[in-house]
């Protein structure tokens, strides 16, 4: 069928679980038995290709897959001609320059004429050009963090998340050069039939993402402070207010962003709100 789309997701690694979780949260059912390279859905026109993340941008650019989920670091490094449809908000990390802990770091000029080991020669090369530094880029495919201690390079450029790998290897982060998160990418030449399926998927992903940002809040409030409380939890259109059995009290139901909820919680309580329940929202269609 012409409308079936194919999506490439990482087979096993830091992107895999969150990629598959997002697809499941979109209501798409599928089997991903271990070792399988391909799978399809029983209730949505989509097929899955399970690949190494390094291969995902290329497969999508060549049209072997219509869509892919990959880190921006890998996408920019591979420099393939694809479209970014959506930032997905997971697998957040940064690409940073690091040097041995004991070294003084006067600024980016430190790297002039030095050797830097990395698995990201393109991103690093572009950055060094931008800041006008001439350094030798030594490309290695893994265990970049040990390069200084074995004398292979004076500094490294690698992915950092918590920073503990750098610390364990006696290194310190000195420049952040790139920020990354998982993104949904697409082939640039998708048929109209497939595009309709892509739109359906994007709509569902948007609803899941909106739902995650917001919470459904229920609370009890004395009627004479309703006005104040409603100004603190304005709701999607306007909050629902139901009278409680107890005279002079109401139950207020509303949707509020999680950040805004925590910012306003003290004021809500001061205004007399009681029995506050905060409930996760699975999907939100605005
Ligand atoms: O086998 P395959 O090629 O598919 O996977 P991979 O080994 O190349 O990649 P994988 O699964 O390790 O990471 C996939 C993607 O997750 C990366 O391309 C990034 O976009 C993202 N990501 C998020 C990370 C990290 N966090 C991360 N911490 N990728 C790698 N790391 C490594 C980093 O290389 C370093 O060794 O973790 C270490 C640093 O972590 P901290 O927490 O100690 O700072
Ligand atoms: Zn990889």
Closest ligand 1 atom number to CA of residue 10: 4
CA 227 to chain centre: 38
Q: The whole model's pTM is what? A: 0.92
Residue 2 alpha carbon to ligand 2 centre in Å: 31
Q: Which atom of ligand 1 is nearest to the CA of 165?
A: 43
Atom of ligand 1 nearest to the CA of 53: 4
Along the 286 residues of the chain, how does pLDDT read in single tens digits?
Answer: 689 999 999 999 999 999 999 999 999 999 876 678 999 999 999 999 999 999 999 999 999 999 999 999 999 999 999 999 999 999 999 999 999 999 999 999 999 999 999 999 999 999 999 999 999 999 999 999 999 999 999 999 999 999 999 999 999 999 999 999 999 999 999 999 999 999 999 999 999 999 999 999 999 999 999 999 999 887 777 889 999 999 999 999 999 998 888 999 999 999 999 999 999 999 998 7
Cβ 165 under 6 angstroms from ligand 1: yes
Cβ of 181 less than 6 Å from ligand 1: no
* Angle, CA of 236, 237 and 240, to the nearest 5°: 90
Distance 54 CA to ligand 2 centre (A): 5
Q: Is 129 in the pocket of ligand 1 (CB under 6 A)?
A: no
Closest residue by Cα to atom 32, ligand 1, is 159
């Amino acid at each position: 069928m012409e409308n079936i789309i194919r999506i490439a997701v990482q087979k096993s690694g830091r992107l895999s679980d969150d990629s598959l979780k997002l697809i499941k949260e979109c209501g798409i059912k599928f089997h991903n038995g271990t070792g399988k390279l391909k799978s399809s859905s029983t209730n949505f026109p989509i097929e899955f290709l399970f690949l190494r993340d390094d291969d995902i941008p290329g497969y999508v650019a060549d049209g072997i897959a219509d869509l892919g989920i990959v880190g921006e670091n890998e996408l920019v490094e591979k420099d393939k001609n694809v479209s970014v449809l959506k930032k997905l908000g997971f697998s957040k990390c940064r690409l940073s320059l690091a040097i041995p802990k004991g070294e003084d770091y006067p600024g980016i000029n430190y790297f002039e004429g030095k050797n830097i080991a990395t698995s990201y020669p393109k991103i690093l090369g572009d950055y060094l050009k931008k800041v006008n530094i001439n350094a030798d880029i030594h490309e290695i495919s893994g265990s970049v963090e040990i390069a200084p201690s074995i004398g292979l390079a004076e500094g490294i450029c690698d992915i950092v998340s918590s920073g503990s790998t750098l610390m364990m290897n006696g290194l310190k982060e000195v420049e952040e050069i790139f920020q990354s998160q998982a993104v949904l990418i697409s082939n640039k030449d998708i048929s109209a039939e497939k595009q309709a399926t892509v739109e359906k998927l994007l709509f569902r992903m948007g609803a899941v993402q909106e739902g995650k940002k917001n919470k459904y809040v229920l609370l009890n409030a004395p009627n004479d402070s309703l006005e104040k409380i409603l100004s603190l939890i304005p709701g999607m259109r306007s909050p629902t207010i139901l009278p409680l059995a107890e005279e002079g009290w109401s139950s207020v139901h509303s949707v509020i962003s999680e950040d805004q909820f925590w910012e306003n919680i003290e004021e809500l309580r001061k205004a007399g709100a009681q029995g506050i329940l905060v409930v996760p929202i699975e999907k939100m269609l605005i």
